[in-house]
Chain A
Amino acid sequence: MFSEKAKKNADACRFCWMCRHLCPVQLVTGKETNTPRAKGLQVSMLERGMTMDAECARTMYECLLCGACTNDCATGFDPLVFIREARTQANVLDLVPAEVRKVIDRVLETGNIYGAKEPRVDLSGVPETGDTLVWLGECARHSVPETAEALFAVLRKAGVPFAVLKNEPGSGSSLGDLLGFVEDVRAQAQRAGEAIRRSGAKRVIVLDSYDAALMRHEYKDWGVELPEIVTATACVDQLIREGRLSLKQTHEVITYHDGSRLARDLDEHEPARAILKAMGYEIHEMWQNRRLAKCCGSAVAGQYMPDIRLRVAENRWNDVKRTDAKHLTAACPQSTEALAATAPEEYRYTDLFVLVKEHL
């Protein structure tokens, strides 16, 4: 039922309690089942004769796949491996919770979790082919278009010609989180890879770190060859260091939220901070920062468990409140979607690229 890799990871995690303090979902629900240990135990028991029930399936979806547990493991075990496979099993057994099923159906039909047909981003005048392709991702295209438009403004100011796909397909990132890395996900990746190839790009600037992580870590294993992949933060940082952007200065105190996939899957922490410093911001860090950052909730989770995603985002704001910063920024559209909507009174959230645009 489960792969040997998943079984090995589940059997290791089932009797290990070490990383539970980091699970952002457990921290807001208080549920024992929202710990990697409990999920590992359930998977191990499924391999020992227990039957998956609807609650077990739901438990496997009550996870943001943020990787805080994986990052913590001193041995290198990875709960995400068996959680993804458990989602695959739930789908096979027709136990996927109804609210999750709806999101899966939307992705399969439209390529995005929102079920949107047209992007909200203003793409007028933007070519679809060129040396540099900006890959937006579904969240920027359909939910927080201001992040994409800000990035466009920054690139234009720096004199970087770029292309964007008007019908950018799904990368497979959301579907991979919803179903595990099944054939449908690999097929999406193939289509994305083909679309990138047709654009003629030699370099892809990826705005959404969920897409960047999947492209960098999985695509090659799935036989999808890509040109150079650069995160949008690394790209803008490079432009600043090359002196191609002149930024207005401030002395404001700010705090920076490390998006989970950017910080952990892509191990990228400093470019965003360098960008903030280049604008004169004084960064006051939250206690859990960089690889230890607490997830604020993914866009996928926001679609099928909005209440938990809301509480997870609010909990991240609680971390902000214990700094003396009143202003928060992050560099991933999915973080922006979660955090902008939950900013407490007297606090302000600005997406990092919007912030840079304001300082041009």
Chain B
Amino acid sequence: MERRAFMNDMVRTELEDVVGVENVSVAVSDRMTYGVDYFWIGRMWADRGQVPPMPDWIVRPGSAEEVSKILKIANYYKIPVHIWGGGSGSQGGALPMAGGIMMDMKRMSRLIEIDEVSRTITAEAGMIFQQLEWYANERGYSCQHIPSCLTCGTIGGALGHRGIGIMSTKYGKIDDMCVSMEVVLPNGDIINTLPVPKHAAGPDLNQIFIGSEGTLGVITKATFKLFEQPENRQFRAFLFPDMHSGYMAGRDLMQKVKPSILRFYDEAESGSIIKKILGFEKPGCFMNLAVEGIRRVVDIEMEIILEIARKWGGQDLGSEYGEKWYENRITFFYPGHIMDIPQMFGTMDTVATYANIEKIYWAMKKAVNENFPFVRYISHSSHWYEWGCMNYTRFIVDPKDVPQDPEEAIRLHNQIWNCGVRAAMENGGVINDHHGIGLKLSRLMKEQYGPAMQVMEGLKKSLDPNGILNPYKLGL
């Protein structure tokens, strides 16, 4: 429905009435800042001087009740609502592609409770995750959700895209860590998931909203597990002769011990990033892991790890490499250390069983290299399970090969993505492991799910009949 003449001003007044005049903005410079997140296309678009996608109103709610009122207004006028946490998502998930309301959640950043008896922590969803982690650290605990976006993303953002941290192999993904949530439904109803996530009272509501990327509701509060800080953490690095031996060593490790960190790099990434950061020059496939917890247990776990690594031909490189990596783990993500405009780049992370993961690695590499010979392709596996692991596969196009015309650049970008992700899906991989779908992969969701997509479409239709929440995302 088109809004003409002074209709936007009428809506603005209603929004201001909910959150206060100071928490609504329509200034161009303010709105423009919400048109760029970590998504390569948004960044390139801005870099080339194009006008970014902009919302019509920025609204900063201070409570779930205010979120509820905003959604009721949006539903009445059928105005799109986009939800912004830290804005650090790489998939364009928060970009206001349909205009309308941009709900910036960062005012909702209060710590609600630390329950030391139950070992849980509860906070509002607009809190930057690093703040939550610091609150836990002050009491001697950790949430153990330590992603590279720890300092950038909010609680709601981590939940919304089903995020993961570097310690996931021991402590789990965000969906394993979340105990319960408060969610505002598109119709404005404020609901709570059950107090605990393990029960036999039907499907876990948490898992309906975790990963829903703001398309089914607005997460306003969440409770997470707390872990005691480990008494001891030990690193070890290995050099495996090839990809196969590394994957198989990782699989065997996961049957017997629970490393907190397990990162296995293909030869291309071993030879570039690791060499650059660690000064390491030997060929092969590098693995860097950590085990942690009670010292006595860790010692035994490390013995088992050494045995398994030997079995698969892994050369023991000691603890120094891992310790250096850990010290530098965030440095990778600062400007000048990571890929940036004018390069074109992307992370095509996928996850699969051990039976398929190596096949996927080679299939994606072949597909990308054959179709786009100018593309560099590197990969590592940094999150492992009993049944399989993920590949964190990155493609990089040097500036000379990136079209100058921004629309041509978008086409090339999307073609590379289609090629790589389809190769993964055709070989048993999942469309994405932990960055989410957003705008970037929305078009491929139906290919991934097939008829199963109707389950999500049904949820969307039932919960958000006017389709106001985060249009064009998640294939919904």
Contacts and interface: CB of A to CB of B under 8 A. Distances in A.
Interface string B331-359: 10111110011000000000000000000
Nearest to A49: B49
B141 to A, nearest CB: 13
Nearest to B29: A56
Interface stretch (A28-36, A154-162, A250-258): A28-36
Contacts of A55: 25, 27-30
B44 to A, nearest CB: 10
Contact of A17 (B25, B134, B138, B149): B149
A53 B25 CA distance: 13
Interface string B4-39: 000000000000000000000101111011101010
A13 B335 contact: yes
Q: In the complex, which of the residues A13, A41, A73 has the most CB atoms of chain B within 10 Å of its own CB atom?
A: A41
Interface string A28-64: 0111110001100110110011101111100100000
A29 B152 CA distance: 16
Contact of A31 (B47, B106, B330): B106
Nearest to A307: B22
Contacts, number: 116
Contacts of A14: 36, 46
A59 B32 contact: no
Contacts of B58: 32
Contacts of A73: 334
Nearest to B28: A53
A74 B333 CA distance: 9
B131 interface: yes
Contacts of B135: 322
Contacts of A287: 134, 137-138
B433 interface: no
A77 interface: yes
Interface residues of B, number: 47
A59 B30 contact: yes
| Size category of the binding interface on chain A | 35 or more
Contact of A44 (B25, B46, B340): B46
B25 A30 contact: no
B87 A75 contact: no
A15 B109 contact: no
A48 B34 CA distance: 17
Contacts of A359: none
B473 interface: no
A18 B151 contact: yes
B48 to A, nearest CB: 8
Nearest to B340: A15
B126 interface: yes
A41 B29 CA distance: 10
Contacts of B134: 287-288
B151 A19 contact: yes
Interface string A15-29: 111111110001101
Interface in B121-145: 126, 128, 130-131, 134-135, 137-138
A12 interface: yes
Nearest to B148: A18
B470 interface: no
B60 interface: yes
A75 B84 contact: no
B443 interface: no
Q: In the complex, which of the residues A33, A54, A288 has the most CB atoms of chain B within 10 Å of its own CB atom?
A: A33
Contacts of A72: 151
B128 A20 contact: yes
A308 to B, nearest CB: 10
Contact of A15 (B49, B107, B335): B335
A77 B336 CA distance: 10
A120 B322 CA distance: 58
A13 B330 CA distance: 16
A16 B340 CA distance: 10
B330 A45 contact: no
A27 B36 contact: no
Q: In the complex, which of the residues A38, A44, A73, A288 has the most CB atoms of chain B within 10 Å of its own CB atom?
A: A38
A20 B37 CA distance: 14
Contacts of B391: none
Nearest to B31: A55
A16 B38 CA distance: 8
Interface string B90-131: 000000000000001111110000000000000000101011
Contacts of B336: 12, 75, 77
B334 A30 contact: no
Given A31-B60, A45-B46, A75-B335, A20 B107 contact: no
B384 to A, nearest CB: 26
A279 B72 CA distance: 59
B443 to A, nearest CB: 24
A319 to B, nearest CB: 9
B43 interface: yes
Q: In the complex, which of the residues A17, A42, A53, A74 has the most CB atoms of chain B within 10 Å of its own CB atom?
A: A17
B80 interface: no
Nearest to B88: A17
Contact of B30 (A13, A33, A44): A33
Contact of B33 (A22, A26, A33): A33
Contacts of A50: 28-29, 32
A117 B152 CA distance: 45
A18 B152 contact: yes
Contact of B334 (A16, A20, A49, A288): A16
A18 B330 CA distance: 9
15 contacts: A17-B86, A21-B128, A21-B130, A21-B131, A29-B107, A31-B104, A32-B106, A33-B33, A44-B46, A45-B29, A50-B29, A50-B32, A53-B29, A59-B30, A75-B334
Interface of A: 12-22, 26-27, 29-33, 37-38, 41-42, 44-45, 48-50, 52-56, 59, 72-75, 77, 287-288, 322
Given A21-B128, A53-B27, A74-B337, 4 more contacts: A18-B330, A20-B86, A21-B151, A30-B104
